[in-house]
Structure 1
């Protein structure tokens, strides 16, 4: 296993650590675990691309670790009543959809479309929203809603880039439309 993949596995291992720290009442410390996970995300991507260490395993592990971490974070925030259920549901629908889409590409042998700049910006904005919520900043939940709207916008853009790449499944001789 190469270093970028090991960092993704480490990020997966940080998910139960985040949950344990959060649920023992150390919410702000849990945010530091999330930031450490975010740092491993940045590092694994940079190392993989700059050193030619991109692997099929990494193209599955990296986004899976990201999505599972953020699903865990959102679940902890909603169960602790720091965010409304509706916001969590919107987030879960998007991220579970992205996981299912990634699994489809992986198991059908199609080449995944890498994350684009808008997707990376969405992640940064989501981390900022979590920071605002955990530190109880004014209007933090409204900021989260704005980020969720932006996230759906970037998801639509991502799907269009997939469609433009010719990787979408054929439906009655035509590509699926978004």
Structure 2
């Protein structure tokens, strides 16, 4: 287990702490939960940077990083919907997108020589936009701004999905030619 993978696991372990704080009776619970998310976001940036810079890229890390991202996304979206911060349709759209990505990833991994599609610029931009929208919501920006940012998040996630779908189909076509 290398440093980058430990950071990814830390991000996963931060999510129950986020939920405990988010649903607590603390006076500024949303701000404190947001601080935990920012810490999770920092681990997200650091794990990839460290893995690439110090040649610590592993199959485990390549598979674990998107799982960690999905856990973070679902935890935040579900908590935000339950607190009426965002409408449920955002959770549904992004949830369906993530479910399809998980299925596609499982197909490639288990039926494609343990192949994993690594994160690319589209996914990273979508993830960054998600954190920006979440921070705006946590900082209690006006609903118009928060909703606009989440609409952008949905659009960017759908663009990333189409990109991953394109990569997935080309890998499947290449495997069927062999």
Q: Distance in 1 between matches of 2:70 and 2:95?
A: 10
Q: What's the Cα RMSD here?
A: 1.9
- Does residue 121 (structure 1) correspond to residue 125 (structure 2)? The answer is yes
Written as runs of structure 1 = structure 2, the 5 A alignment for 1:42-53 is 42-53=45-56
Instruction: Tell me which residue corresponds to 1:82.
Output: 85
Q: 2:64 aligns with which of 51, 55, 61?
A: 61
Provide structure 1 residue ranges, at least 5 long, that are not aligned to the other structure. Answer: none
Alpha-carbon displacement from aligned partner over 1:139-177 (angstroms, at most 9, x marks no partner): 11132022202210121022213334xx22689x68xxx
Instruction: Tell me which residue corresponds to 2:148.
Output: 142
Instruction: Tell me which residue corresponds to 2:5.
Output: 5
- Indicate if the aligned counterparts of 2:129 and 2:152 stay in contact, CA closer than 8 A: no
- Indicate if the aligned counterparts of 1:60 and 1:106 stay in contact, CA closer than 8 A: no
Alpha-carbon distance, 1:106 to partner: 2.1
Normalized per residue, the structure richer in helix is 2
Provide structure 2 residue ranges, at least 5 long, that are not aligned to the other structure. Answer: none
Alpha-carbon displacement from aligned partner over 1:58-116 (angstroms, at most 9, x marks no partner): 11111111110111000000011111111111111112222222222222224222111
Runs of 4+ in 1 over 4 A off after TM superposition: none
- Does residue 96 (structure 1) correspond to residue 99 (structure 2)? The answer is yes
TM-score by length of 2: 0.88
Q: 2:165 aligns with which of 148, 151, 159?
A: 159
Q: Distance in 2 between matches of 1:62 and 1:77?
A: 22
